[in-house]
Amino acid sequence: MSLPPTSRRRLTRAVVPGLAAAGLAVLATLLVVTHAERTAENAAAGPPQGCVIPPPPGLGGPIALTGGQGQAVTEAAFAGRPTLVYFGFTHCPDICPTTMYLVKDALTAMGPEAAGLQTALITLDPERDDPATISAYAASEGFPAGLVGLSGTPEAVNAAIAAFGVVAQRAPLEDGDYNVNHTSFLYVMDAGWRMRGLVTTIGKTPQEIASCVQQALSGAAAQ
């Protein structure tokens, strides 16, 4: 599913400015929402920059998608174990695969704590990413082991996008193809499918992502 270098460069020029602007805008909003709820003491000892704990209320929710074997997949499939959720697509030139590599390295940095974590990749492009396609992509070398790729009808995918507050916009390209500009956040869901935190993946190190995930889940465990 890899693209020729020229196509990847063309897609990169199209996606990165819009994605960065949208990601920063949404992140700024999230940080403003949470800032008022955090004391100066908590802020000093808080999570890494770009890590929002707790997340704004109302994010997350049920999903009704389809797995690679055509099976129906709801949030119940992830019950009992925390899950890291990301929204991307198979034609994404750089941000999506880079994020998956980062997540794998973050899980490695977490050591034994990562043993119980699940990972899921939900497509933003159901028109090109049918369940088999996104599932095969999720098995790419360098991605987290056991990463679950999910797709579904446009209505089902759009419902998941709305539930998680993802910003995604289809952007036509000069050759008649299209890209999907989108925000890039990793969502930390606890064992009961409640969102406990989220972190922007742009410009982050595996250690920063690992720290955000650990703090989000440690707060969930304390409740």
pLDDT, tens digit (0-9, with 9 covering 90-100), for 28-86: 444 433 333 343 334 445 678 899 999 999 999 999 999 999 999 999 999 999 999 99
pLDDT single digits (tens) 89-122: 999 999 999 999 999 999 999 999 999 999 999 9
User: What are the domain boundaries of the chain?
Assistant: 5-222
Q: What is the mean pLDDT of residues 192-198?
A: 97
pLDDT at 2: 41
How close are the terminal C-alpha atoms of the chain, in Å?
43
Phi, psi (deg, nearest 5) at residue 169:
-140, 125
Query: Is 7 a residue whose pLDDT tops 60?
Result: no
The CA distance from 12 to 1, in Å, is 16
- The answer, yes or no, to whether the previous bond of 131 is cis (omega within 30 of 0) is no
Query: What CATH number does the domain located at 5-222 have?
Result: 3.40.30.10
The CA distance from 174 to 182, in Å, is 19
**What is the sign, positive or negative, of the torsion defined by CA atoms of 155, 156, 160, 161?**
negative
pLDDT at 219: 73
pTM of the shown model: 0.81
Percent of the chain with pLDDT over 90: 74
The CA distance from 198 to 14, in Å, is 25
